[in-house]
Every structure is written in C-alpha cells, then in structure tokens.
Chain A
Amino acid sequence: MKIGEQLRAVRISMKLTQEQVAEDIHVSRQTISNWENNRSYPDIISVIKLSDLYNISLDQLLKGDQDMIKHLNESTDIVSSNKKLIIISLANVFLFLFMILCNKMIASNTIVMGCVMIAAVLCMTTLFYQIIRKF
C-alpha cells in the first residue's frame, strides 16, 4: 500500500482533518494533501512525527511503499551522490586534458572534433546537474 493512501486512511479513521494534522506537525495543509495524493513524499522527520500522531509503527508506514524507500535512500545517501559528482568532475578534467594534449589531432579531423564537442557538452551538463542535485 502506498504511503499516501495509508496516511489518508489512518487520518480519516481518527476523524482528523488535513488542517489539524498540518498544525500538529508544523507543515501546510497543501503539503499534507500532496503526501496523501502521492505527489510528494514526507521527509524522515515528518514520517516520525506522523507515526507518533497516528500511533502507527515506522515499519508499517515505510515498508509497504517501495517508492518511498527509494526516495529516502536517494535523499540520504550522500556517499553515493558525492561519488557521482567526483566521477563526473574527473571526466571533465580528463576531457579537457585530452583536448589540450591532442589538439593537433582533434583539429585535423572534423569527426573527432565533433565527437569531442558532443562529449564536452554532455560532461558539462551532467556536472551542472549533479551540482544542482546537491542543493
């Protein structure tokens, strides 16, 4: 069962409104609506607060929804996210070193030049996206 559906079912069974829940866990009513409609996922602190408020175990809340587990894994796995950033940065460095060291070969062949330009675009945009994801 999705976490949103669980949250909605428990809230209705406890006869609480979205406003009351929002007030108790210090978020907006819109946020509660987003969680219940699976448009976004609560962060781990909000999940703990919700489990206290609704008297449900964290096991019950989290284990039923694979997407939620994936979301928590992505938002908390800093090591993996740093690894990606380092790999992309190194790829950029190697590409620019290659461009500097092999400039004669690149300039003489338009196909190679095109490939290097495409690789540079891909490396730069991927690096930029990884930096944005760290925000």
Chain B
Amino acid sequence: MNWYEYIFIFIVILGAFNTAYQLYRMVQLDAKSRGFKHPKIWGLLATGGQNRGGLLLYLLSRRNYPSNMSEDEINSMNSRKKRIGICLIFLTVGSICLIISLISNGRI
C-alpha cells in the first residue's frame, strides 16, 4: 500500500467517526425534546447498525411524539447538520480517491 492510500483511509475514518458522533448528538437532542425516556440509548441505536436501520427505526418511532425544541436547540441541530455535511464530503472524497488509487495501481 502507498503512503497516500493510508492518508485516504485516515480521511474516510475521520469522516465516518465524526458523522457517527454528530448523528448520536443530534438524535439524543431530538429524543430529549420529544420526551423519550432514554435519549442516549436512542442515540446509540441510531448511530450503530448496518444500512442505517437504527436511524430509520428512530425516525419511524418519533412520528407520534411532537418536538418541543427551544431556539437554541434548533440552532444546535442546524449546526450539527452542517457538520455532518462537511464530514460526508470528507468521507466521499476520501473514498473516491481510495477507489481511484486502488484501480490505478491494479489492486482491484
């Protein structure tokens, strides 16, 4: 493996971990505002799991509970959404560079 491929892997891991953390905090905040009993567990459930099944489960479960967020919490949610957007750019760019690098070096 070339040195730059390690950098691409690092960028992908950085983006993935940060996305997971921001999502955990977002779900925790949202669950708290809707009066869910265990917001941290919902956060973990939504973050973990393959194919984002936990997140979809949370989105389906929350439908019957109205959100009572304060303006500060709404601002915090919007800021976290932006951070997730940036993390996803890292993730996408890192993954695409890694794919191109692996193909051009004949490893796929």
Chain A interfacial positions (CB closer than 8 Å to B): 27-28, 30-31, 34, 40, 42-43, 46, 110-111, 113-114, 117-118, 121-122, 125, 128-129, 131-135
Contacts and interface: CB of A to CB of B under 8 A. Distances in A.
A129 B85 contact: yes
A67 to B, nearest CB: 14
Interface of B: 23, 26, 30, 52, 55, 59, 70-72, 74-75, 77-78, 81, 84-85, 88, 91-92, 95-96, 99-100, 103, 108
For the residues of B in contact with A, the DSSP-based class is: helix
B100 to A, nearest CB: 7
The SS class assigned to the A binding surface is: helix
Contacts of B88: 125, 128-129
Contacts, number: 58
B70 A114 contact: no
A125 to B, nearest CB: 5
A55 to B, nearest CB: 22
A45 B79 CA distance: 20
A110 B108 contact: yes
Contact of A114 (B77, B84, B103): B103
A118 B52 contact: no
B103 A28 contact: no
Contact of B71 (A46, A111, A114): A46
A132 B26 CA distance: 9
Nearest to A132: B84
A93 B26 CA distance: 27
Nearest to B81: A132
Contacts of B81: 132-133, 135
Given A28-B71, A135-B30, A117 B99 contact: yes
Contact of A31 (B52, B71, B85, B100): B71
A133 B77 CA distance: 10
25 contacts: A27-B71, A27-B72, A28-B70, A28-B71, A30-B72, A31-B72, A40-B75, A40-B78, A42-B71, A43-B71, A111-B103, A114-B99, A114-B103, A118-B96, A118-B100, A121-B92, A122-B92, A122-B96, A125-B88, A125-B91, A128-B52, A128-B88, A129-B85, A132-B23, A132-B81
